[in-house]
Amino acid sequence: MQTFGKLETNFDTEYVTQQYIYINETHEDKDKITLEEFEDLLKRKRKTVAGTIFLYNPTLAPLGYNNDSLLSEQGFEFDDEFHEFELNNMMKLFSSSIKNGYRGKLIEIKYLFNLNKGNIEPTPILEEFDADLDRYRSEQLTRYDKNLNYHDYLNIRLSGKFVYFGSGHKYDRHHKEIIKYSRNIAEQAIKLGKDVSFTHDNNYDADECIGVAYFLAPLAQGKIKDRRINAFKNAFRTNPPTIQKLG
């Protein structure tokens, strides 16, 4: 699997504003595509993009770079062009999980928040996100760029036939705007006729998950790690993916 995307920056804050994964025909190097071939596929996205996976936020670096410091400090040039990314742990899970039924296809990766920074939960950043979303539709200034960090859910573009939500569930209850934002995106995906899927557990049934934005992330720590990974793999055994429930 390969992943490509665009990075943008504003006031020394870095965002992943577009990202796609390509499911290669095999794991052999001969089946890897070039950046030019990826862009040719993207020109035919109605036929080549199978669907969309929604995650919480990115931690990504172009090939040859890392996330130990700002990309700008490493000499990366923000040129509004697509770049191939290194595979982080989430992308490695996708590489091992998404195979038959998706080979030769692109899947778009979107994030609730495009801020390219690791370990933002829990931090004061979430307080800033919540405050930003409260003033999103006003003329007030936001701490993070309205266009680069957030989605206008009423005008969101979702590629392909499905949306798989792996955007998480551990929202602080007082972050009401973040919860509403996540819920609005999921409800909009349904309104747009997308086949919506996710992983949940006994806390909520599948119908309730939409209303409370409860979508278990594919990766977790501790005893539940393997169960989450297996649920994600089971979801993508078919195209489109299916809703999974952890027992």
Whole-angstrom Cα distance, residue 46 to residue 160?
A: 7
Give the tens place of pLDDT for each residue, 112-142.
999 999 988 777 999 999 999 999 999 899 9
**How high is the pLDDT of residue 123?**
79
**How high is the pLDDT of residue 185?**
98
**How high is the pLDDT of residue 28?**
78
**How high is the pLDDT of residue 173?**
77
Query: What average pLDDT does the structure give for the chain?
Result: 95
**How high is the pLDDT of residue 247?**
72
**How high is the pLDDT of residue 130?**
96
Residue 30 pLDDT > 80, yes or no?
A: no
User: Are 76 and 21 a contacting pair, CB within 8 Å?
Assistant: no
**What's the whole-number mean pLDDT along residues 161-172?**
91
Domain that holds residue 129: 2-245
Give the tens place of pLDDT for each residue, 38-73.
999 999 999 999 999 999 999 999 999 999 999 999
Number of structural domains found in the chain:
1
Whole-angstrom Cα distance, residue 9 to residue 148?
A: 8
Give start and end residues of each alpha helix (H) in 44-175: 45-48, 89-97, 124-134, 146-149
Whole-angstrom Cα distance, residue 182 to residue 139?
A: 22
Backbone angles phi, psi at 128, to 5 degrees: -70, -40
Could you tell me what percent of the chain has a pLDDT over 70? 100
Predicted confidence band at 197 (pLDDT cuts at 50, 70, 90)? very high
Predicted confidence band at 27 (pLDDT cuts at 50, 70, 90)? confident
Whole-angstrom Cα distance, residue 27 to residue 1?
A: 7
